[in-house]
Amino acid sequence: MSRGFTQLDANGRLRHLITLDDVPRPVLVELLDRAQGYLSPAGSLPPRGEDLAGWTVANLFAEPSTRTRASFELAAVRLGADTINLDVMLSSRAKGESIIDTIYTLQEMQVNVFVIRDAEAGIHEYVARHVGPGVSVISGGEAHLSHPTQGLLDALTIRQCMGGFDGLVVTIAGDVRRSRVARSAHRALSTLGVAEIRIVAPPVMMPDAAEFAGARRVGSLDDGIAGADVVMMLRIQRERATGAGATDLVDYHQNYGLTAARLGRASPRAIVMHPGPMNRGVEITSDVADGPQSMIRRQVANGVAVRMAVLAHFAAARGRPA
């Protein structure tokens, strides 16, 4: 975020959620605790609440999304809000209206929360600077930079499976350079006290040296996975790859694909994660993705709970809109 902008209010609570960069540990823990309370056993009815009764949540997604968009909508509805979903690419922008005019228009319709996914860095903060008092912005993904609710759901999944963060070795492997998921996971896990974060990538997918402070950089997946408690695989971001970044997928799978044999090098209690959508047979094989160590479906369940927790946090911080 740029200087002079903060997403926290005067009481240190979230007014917006655009990045995990400045979110203090107690707020992260509060969100994880809240999210835990929004989970119910598979097959039972999902928890509901009235925290957002009277609120309106607008999902503005300018990039494709299945999980994130659906889970934000379910989270809002299950807390009693009205929701609208707009494909901003197809609507106002295509007609030449600037995003800020779209925001002002929706604000007049008494939208209280904007959930925005956009490939352009800085849009979320720009919108947050322009919304009226009592209106919040949540990022549902910003370029390659940030995906805060994904970082939270990843942290929640790890806490559930490992009982905490102390002493863990977490390996984040794949297209790290272009991954907002990796950046937000690194931020959340660093704040929560994970002892060792390894990032594993071929040179072309390794992030710049100034990024991922404190993480160990490893060029080989076989080495990077050894003894890991958590193995987080990333999707190859083919849509973000340009000429030099293009990758031979067969070759990539040979060297950086997670197979059952490779997973055998991790700790015996290791869990496997992936944010989805998966390129099966490229960064991960199906037997691993669907195997007993995979928490990939649990991540999806946690995604709804975490988004409910963020919305409920806003409601608690602000009280009901008048």
User: C-beta of 117: minimal distance to ligand ASP in Å?
Assistant: 7
CB of 176 or CB of 181, closer to ligand ASP: 181
39 contact partners, CB below 8 Å, separation of at least 6: 47, 301, 302, 305
User: C-beta of 320: minimal distance to ligand ASP in Å?
Assistant: 31
User: Rounded to whole angstroms, how far apart are CA atoms 129 and 100?
Assistant: 10
User: C-beta of 133: minimal distance to ligand ASP in Å?
Assistant: 30
275 is a contact residue toward ligand ASP (CB under 6 A): yes
Whole-Å CA distances, 287 to 112, 277, 301:
43, 16, 21
Residue 130: both structure tokens together: 């322009």
User: C-beta of 235: minimal distance to ligand ASP in Å?
Assistant: 3
CB of 55 or CB of 252, closer to ligand ASP: 252
According to CB under 6 A, which residues from 147 to 206 bind ligand ASP? 147, 180-181
According to CB under 6 A, which residues from 50 to 69 bind ligand ASP? none
CB of 69 or CB of 262, closer to ligand ASP: 69
CB of 54 or CB of 276, closer to ligand ASP: 276
Q: Which of 114, 141, 148, 218 binds ligand ASP (CB under 6 A)?
A: 141
User: C-beta of 145: minimal distance to ligand ASP in Å?
Assistant: 10
User: Rounded to whole angstroms, how far apart are CA atoms 139 and 62?
Assistant: 12
User: C-beta of 9: minimal distance to ligand ASP in Å?
Assistant: 27
User: C-beta of 163: minimal distance to ligand ASP in Å?
Assistant: 26
CB of 28 or CB of 234, closer to ligand ASP: 234
CB of 135 or CB of 289, closer to ligand ASP: 289
Q: Which of 181, 207, 185 is nearest to 277 (CA)?
A: 181
Q: Which of 127, 69, 1 is nearest to 276 (CA)?
A: 69
* Contact in structure between 272 and 170 (CB atoms under 8 Å): no
Residue 48: both structure tokens together: 């509901």
CB of 55 or CB of 61, closer to ligand ASP: 61
Q: E strands of 82-163, at which residues?
A: 82-86, 113-118, 136-142
224 is a contact residue toward ligand ASP (CB under 6 A): no
**What torsion do the CA atoms of 115, 116, 117, 123 make, to the nearest 10 degrees?**
-150
CB of 207 or CB of 275, closer to ligand ASP: 275
What is the size of the binding site for ligand ASP (CB under 6 A)?
7
According to CB under 6 A, which residues from 81 to 140 bind ligand ASP? none
Q: Is 266 helix (H, G, I), strand (E, B) or coil?
A: coil
Give yes or no for a cis peptide into 277 (omega within 30° of 0).
Answer: yes
Residue 119: both structure tokens together: 């490939």
Q: Which of 15, 34, 235, 253 binds ligand ASP (CB under 6 A)?
A: 235
Q: E strands of the chain, at which residues?
A: 56-61, 82-86, 113-118, 136-142, 169-173, 196-200, 216-218, 230-233, 271-273
CB of 121 or CB of 195, closer to ligand ASP: 121
Give the distance between the most distant pair of CA atoms in the chain.
58
User: C-beta of 173: minimal distance to ligand ASP in Å?
Assistant: 13
User: C-beta of 150: minimal distance to ligand ASP in Å?
Assistant: 6
Q: What residues make contact with ligand ASP under the rule CB under 6 A? A: 141, 147, 180-181, 235, 275-276
